[in-house]
């Protein structure tokens, strides 16, 4: 398994945009992020460049502007983040986490029902 780069919170926002649509120009990313953040364009450019350095993004020159695309899939990213979180907080135990969430009554009745459906569906599929 190759080393997955560390992706910070701010960088993650950029990845989400690019996972949502790619390839994209830096400007498209900037426009998207202006909707939910108050980051200046230069800030987004910095984040993009760092992600390129980390090999989380690749690009190809298209004339003046570059087109960026992800080098790691969203699922890979999620996996890495999830493992880091589980390791830090729940000793890597998914069950411990679930037990905790359920104990803390994080789920509404409806969510529990939905969860049950998902589980049953999952049982079906495997």
Partner DNA sequence: AAAAAAAGATTACAGATGTAATCTAAAACC
Partner DNA sequence: GGTTTTAGATTACATCTGTAATCTTTTTTT
Binding mask 10-49 for DNA (x = CB under 7 A): xx-------------xxx----------xxx-xx-xxx-x
Closer of 49 and 106 to DNA (Cβ): 49
Q: What does 25 interact with, of its own copies, DNA, none (CB < 5 to 8 A by kind)? A: DNA
CA distances from 9 to 14, 46, 72, 81 (A): 9, 14, 16, 10
| Consecutive H or E run containing 117 | helix 109-125
The residue whose two tokens read 């890495």 is 80
* Residue 84: cis peptide before it, omega within 30 degrees of 0: no
Q: What does 21 interact with, of DNA, its own copies, none (CB < 5 to 8 A by kind)? A: none
Examine residue 65 and tell whether it contacts its own copies (CB under 8 A): no
Examine residue 3 and tell whether it contacts DNA (CB under 7 A): no
């Amino acid at each position: 398994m190759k080393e997955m780069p560390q992706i910070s919170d701010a960088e993650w926002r950029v990845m989400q945009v690019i996972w949502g649509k790619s390839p994209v120009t830096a400007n498209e990313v900037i426009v998207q992020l202006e909707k939910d953040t108050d980051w200046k364009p230069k800030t987004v450019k910095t984040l993009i460049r760092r992600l390129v350095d980390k090999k989380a993004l690749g690009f190809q020159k298209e004339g003046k502007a570059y087109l960026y695309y992800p080098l790691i899939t969203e699922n890979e990213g999620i996996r890495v983040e999830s493992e880091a979180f589980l390791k830090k907080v729940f000793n890597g135990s998914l069950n411990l986490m679930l037990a905790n969430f359920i104990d803390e009554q994080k789920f509404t009745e409806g969510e529990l029902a939905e969860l049950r459906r998902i589980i049953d569906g999952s049982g079906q599929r495997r």
